[in-house]
Amino acid sequence: MSQVRTLPAITDDLLSAIVQTFRDVDADLVAVILFGSAVYAPDLARDLDFLVITGDPKERQRYQEAALQVARGWEVDVVVCRVGEKVRGLSGAVKAFGKVLWGDERWLWEVTKDMPIPSFDDARRTVREAEMDAQEAMRSQDAWHADSRWHSAYNWLFEAARRGAMAFLNTQESRWGVLRGQLPEPFQSEFREFINALHVRFWYEGDYPQDNPEGHFQTWRDRVAQFIRRLGTDGKAGVR
């Protein structure tokens, strides 16, 4: 099992200090949004993900380096979005788990509105992202890098299952707890297992199979691919 770093709690004081660094860097800032695991599973979070919305974007590195000075050991990732533009690629995560730390709440809606519903092709492409991470993990001679790629590969598998569920339900809803409740059986039970194993145990807790990692990954990859395939062929709602 991977070792987990001991990090301080995600407190209002910590977040306020980080927000202030963003404001110091950028006088044109209109909103700062926290998203990802720091919002919906802070005890399991591995880093802090921020979206900054501004009328005049600065270099991403400037925001990130400023935040790291007060982050108390947390890794910080910053996505920069210009006013009037949409968040590409992360709109689902921001819409589902975005928390406005500073600025008007309307900015969260502005950057995520008209988010397209994933298709089954999107879900299958996401499985391929998982495969690429797994291949890189197997090639790597660096234990830390390989561990990081295995974490990512399993989370991509979960993301593929989530996108398949969204396509089946024909919904923009991306919160896995809500999706699970809306899926009929047997898909609901399968998706619950993907949440508990792929997303929580393997990715967040780092407790993925260490013996024969290639074989275990292939087993889970096949299960997710079959889940998506059955959603598309057996399902009646949202099949396109």
From the number of C-beta atoms within 10 Å of its C-beta (0-12, 13-18, 19+), residue 177 rates as: exposed
Q: Are residue 98 and residue 128 in the same domain, yes or no?
A: no
Q: Give backbone dihedrals phi and psi of 83, rounded to 5 degrees, phi first.
A: -55, 130
* 112 residue type, one letter: T
Residues 50 and 92 in one domain: yes
**Per-10-residue mean pLDDT, the chain, length 240:** 67 98 98 88 82 96 97 94 81 77 91 80 94 95 90 92 93 84 95 94 88 96 97 62
| 141 and 200 fall within a common domain | yes
Total number of residues shown for the chain: 240
Domain-embedded: residue 60: yes
Task: Quote the pLDDT of residue 173.
Answer: 80
One domain, residues 154 and 192: yes
Which domain CATH number covers 23? 3.30.460.10
Last residue of a domain, one of 112, 130, 156: 112
Question: What pLDDT is stored for residue 238 in this prediction?
Answer: 42
| Rounded alpha-carbon distances, angstroms, from residue 57 to 53, 82, 159 | 8, 6, 29
Amino acid (1-letter code) at residue 207: D
Q: 129 with 107, same domain?
A: no
Q: Which pLDDT does position 237 carry in this prediction? A: 44
CB atoms within 10 A of CB 24: 11
Among candidate residues 88, 112, 136, the one where a domain is terminated:
112
**Alpha-carbon separation of residue 134 from 47, 117, 145, 152, 171 (angstroms):** 22, 27, 11, 8, 29
Closest to 17 in 3D by CA, of 61, 65, 69: 69
CATH of the domain at 210: 1.20.120
Q: Does 182 share its domain with 226? A: yes
38 lies in a domain?
yes
Element (H, E) at 161: helix 143-169
The DSSP 8-state label assigned to residue 44 in this structure reads G
Based on the domain organization, do 156 and 94 belong to the same domain? no
Distance CA 118, CA 166 (A): 6
Same domain, 103 and 163: no
Same-domain check for residues 131 and 219:
yes
Count of structural domains, the chain: 2
Residues 230 and 135 in one domain: yes
Q: Residue 87 sits in which domain range?
A: 12-112
* Residue 7 belongs to some domain of the structure: no
pTM (2 d.p.)? 0.64
